[in-house]
Amino acid sequence: MGAEQEINSGRSYYIDTTALHVPRAGVELISPLKNGMIEDWNAFQAIIDHIYSKHIKSEPSLHPVLMSEAPWNSRAKREKLTELIFEHYNIPAFFLCKTAVLTAFANGRATGLVLDSGATHTTAIPVHDGYVLQQGIVKSPLAGDFITMQCRELFQEMNIDTVPPYMIASKEPVREGAPPLWTKKDKLPPVTKSWHTYMCNEVIQDFQASVLQVSDSPYDEQVAAQMPTVHYEMPSGYSTDYGAERLRIPEGLFDPSNVKGLSGNTMLGVGHVVTTSIGMCDIDIRPGLYGSVIVTGGNTLLQGFTERLNRELSQKAPPSMRLKLIACNSSIERRFSSWIGGSILASLGTFQQMWISKQEYDEGGKQSVERKCP
Amino acid sequence: MSWDSYITSLTKSEWVDDAVILGCTPGQESVWASAPGGWLSQVTAAEVKALVASDRSTLFANGVTLAGKKCTVLRDALNVEGQNTMDIKMKTSEKEPDPFSFTIGKTHKAIIIAKGVKDAHGGKVNPPVFDMTGYLRKLNM
């Protein structure tokens, strides 16, 4: 994530989580990626420059680079990235590996169905022996951002203001359900809407992570009404208990049929995304895929997600199929599984044959990436 | 013109140990040249027809066979202009414990199949087949 400021001649970028949270006038908050693929190349280059100067602190020409990419990355973008890497940064060797393959390696497997539920998309990607089967990729837009939006609507209905912490100078304890008492910081710079929205979203995402729970069987009003309530306090001091909403909101991920605003759309629930993806693959490899369903992505950390998914898949999978769900317990491992897989892959002896060297790039051009990085 | 020299230029790579060139025009799917000692020479005319079929949808769900051995299709760009290659991998079983990588290239009149050595990454088998396919296409072969 980066923030940028318009100056007359060029743009300056503020990069990294610490710089991100400082309120500055006129600074927009952008992501260089769209749909998992690089869209804003200047911002991407600024991030790479920042990484080399502030974190790696070494010359780019001294270190081979293994980079992950979205499994549906377009050929033009791959070639453009390869060209940037070799021509601009003079990197000695390069390899582009799909995130799903790296996630599978991070979980100790070369074959499996990778279910990645992040902020923007929930995707099922079949991986066979270290290769992505592109025809089996199934995407759904019902993921973290969808849940955030549903939470925001809930707060609007309950008349709760999501006040982000950067605005609050001090707050006083209030009774449960009473309007919050807080004082605004003075001398706040005029921040942009995109930045402010992001800060509000962070508050909602914290609520999402701590309060919401996925019901282990399809949502039932009576059952939900008897759920134990969870107490949550907003940064502004407003606090209340949440009961049935805890189960109702994430239900949309697994059963989109009842979600407001989605009716009429043929959206797939998470269970269906998995089974549809496996159904598009070669019959002989399907048992291997059902036997290794790898769950990854920040959105899957919702309480009860993996148990519900297990239940859904055991109902939908063919009866003779052995089903096994693999999910790391730590949140770091689930959110960064592709990086972990990349570090494993780059250390393997068998990987050393796979690099695209500078010499191969000079001879074969940027098209080499399509040949050598399947 | 000796097709055998094309085969040797493929198998001289340390990553490729078997290759075959077959005709692909309907009715003329015969072996033009193959590597000595390999089994790719036993690819049948029916298998060639299945590989170059214009309807690609069944290839992924059902897989293909090469000389009777079953394979999974990983990447199919056989009919895509500028690529004309297809990457597949052998399915493992008790008789065949090693999943070999293959790349198939389609020129105007022939298909080239190259087999990777054990543990060869697909990205090592694809470039020689791609280059040869491009070269033959330029010669209108």
The better pLDDT of the pair B56, A97 is held by: A97
State the pLDDT at residue A353.
87
DSSP state of A303: B
Distance from CA of B62 to the nearest CA of A (A): 5
The residues spanned by each domain of chain A are 144-258
Q: What is the pLDDT of residues A342-355, one digit of tens each?
A: 999 999 998 998 99
Specify the pLDDT at position A104: 96
Q: Is the pLDDT of residue A5 over 50?
A: no
Note the pLDDT tens digit of each residue in A296-347: 999 999 999 999 999 999 999 998 899 999 999 888 999 999 999 999 999 9
Cβ-based interface (< 8 Å): residues of A facing B: 128-129, 131, 133-136, 280-285, 350, 353-354, 364, 368, 370-374
Q: Provide the pLDDT for residue B26.
A: 87
A260 band by pLDDT with thresholds 50, 70 and 90? confident
DSSP A301: G
- Per-residue pLDDT at A295 exceeds 90: yes
A147: pLDDT strictly greater than 90: yes
Position A50 scores a pLDDT of 94
**HEC profile of A320-334:** CCCCCEEECCCHHHH
What is the predicted pLDDT for the residue at A3?
52
Topology of the domain covering B3-139? Beta-Lactamase (3.30.450)
Q: Which sign, positive or negative, has the C-alpha torsion A324, A330, A331, A335?
A: negative
Contact B22, B34 (CB under 8 A): no
Give the DSSP letter of residue A94: E
pLDDT of residue B81: 87
Q: Which of A256, A258, A247, A252 is nearest to A221 (CA)?
A: A247
pLDDT score recorded for residue A265: 67
Q: What ipTM was estimated for this complex?
A: 0.89
Q: Is pLDDT above 60 for A4? A: no
Beta pairing class for B101-106 and B85-90: antiparallel
How distant is the Cα of B120 from the closest Cα of chain A, in angstroms?
8
Burial class (CB in 10 A: 0-12, 13-18, 19+), A190: exposed
B124 contacts on A by Cβ (under 8 Å): 353-354, 372
Q: Name every chain B residue with its beta carbon within 8 A of the beta carbon of A374.
A: 74-75, 87, 122-123, 126
Average pLDDT over chain A reads 91
Which CATH superfamily, name and number, covers A144-258?
A: ATPase, substrate binding domain, subdomain 4 (3.90.640.10)
Residue in B13, B55, B74 to test binding to A, most A beta-carbons within 10 Å: B74
Sign (positive or negative) of CA dihedral B14, B114, A113, A314: negative
Q: How long, in residues, is chain A?
A: 374
Closest Cβ opposite residue B123 in set A280, A283, A354? A354
Question: What is the model's pLDDT at position A262?
Answer: 67
Which pLDDT score, from 0 to 100, does residue B56 have? 85
Q: What is the C-alpha to C-alpha distance for residues A79 and A75, in angstroms, rounded to an integer?
A: 6
Q: What is the pLDDT of residue B29?
A: 86
Residues of A in contact with B76 (CB under 8 A): 135
Q: Is A168 helix (H, G, I), strand (E, B) or coil?
A: strand
| Local confidence band at A9 (pLDDT 50, 70, 90 cut-offs) | very low
d(CA A207, CA A234): 8
For position A7, what pLDDT does the model report? Answer: 37
pLDDT for A6 equals 37
Chain A contact set for B75 (CB, 8 A): 131, 134, 374
Pairing of strands A293-296, A325-327: parallel
Provide the pLDDT confidence category of residue B1 given band limits of 50, 70 and 90: low
What's the pLDDT tens digit per position in A66-80? 999 999 999 999 999
Every domain of chain B and the residues it spans: 3-139
CA distance A179 to A253: 32
- pLDDT tens readout for residues B23-37: 989 888 889 999 988
Is residue A121 within 8 A of residue A36, CB to CB? The reply is yes
- Tokens representing residue A58 in the block: 């070494």
Looking at residue A2, its pLDDT comes to: 52
Residues of B in contact with A127 (CB under 8 A): none
User: Dihedral through CA A154, CA A160, CA A165, CA A166, nearest 10?
Assistant: 100
* Percent of chain A topping pLDDT 90: 78
Q: What is the pLDDT of residue A8?
A: 37
Asked if B60 lies within 8 A of A368 by C-beta distance, the reply is no
Instruction: Specify which residues A71 forms β-bridges with.
Output: none
**A186-236 pLDDT, tens digit each:** 989 999 999 999 999 999 999 999 999 999 899 998 888 888 999 999 999
Provide the mean pLDDT of chain B: 90
A10 has a pLDDT exceeding 90: no
CA A287 to chain CA centroid, nearest Å: 27
